[in-house]
């Protein structure tokens, strides 16, 4: 079973940061997840489960999971806010632009 996992990830990279270390499967829609113990399954069943996933490193997986939980248990993520940029590490154009604007305003006010 461990060999199946190692063999699967051998030539893969994280979808987000492109590293090949500490890779994991991230379900794009966690509500469709059957189980996390797929490596003991027969190949066709395992393949169907993997098709529901993205390959992410452990750190990117944590970030994506936080985003999902944030959406699930709170109001929608508001882009262009410090919370979205800093805590949830959103790097969309709107969040980056607003963060740069806030940094400029802070510098003009404080000189730091």
* Number of domains within the chain: 1
Q: What confidence score (pLDDT) does residue 30 get?
A: 82
Q: Is residue 32 part of a domain?
A: yes
Q: What range does the domain containing 20 cover?
A: 1-57
Q: Is residue 64 part of a domain?
A: no
DSSP β-bridge partners for residue 23: 57
Per-residue pLDDT tens digits for 36-68:
889 999 999 999 999 999 999 999 999 998 888
Q: Which alpha helices (H) appear in 1-112, and where do they start and end?
A: 2-9, 43-50, 58-73, 82, 93-110
The pTM of the full predicted model, rounded to 2 decimals, is 0.60
Per-residue pLDDT tens digits for 64-77:
988 888 777 766 77
Q: Is residue 103 part of a domain?
A: no
Tokens of 11: 């030539």
Q: What confidence score (pLDDT) does residue 94 get?
A: 92
Q: Is residue 40 part of a domain?
A: yes
Q: Is residue 29 part of a domain?
A: yes
Q: Is residue 78 part of a domain?
A: no
């Amino acid at each position: 079973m461990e060999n199946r996992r190692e063999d699967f990830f051998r030539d893969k990279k994280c979808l987000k940061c492109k590293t090949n270390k500490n890779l994991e499967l991230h379900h794009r829609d966690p509500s469709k997840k059957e189980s996390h113990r797929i490596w003991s399954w027969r190949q066709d069943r395992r393949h169907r489960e993997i098709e529901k996933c993205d390959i992410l490193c452990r750190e990117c997986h944590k970030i994506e999971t936080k985003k999902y939980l944030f959406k699930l248990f709170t109001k929608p993520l508001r882009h262009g806010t410090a919370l979205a940029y800093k805590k949830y590490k959103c790097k969309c154009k709107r969040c980056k632009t607003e963060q740069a604007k806030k940094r400029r305003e802070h510098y003009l006010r404080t000189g730091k």
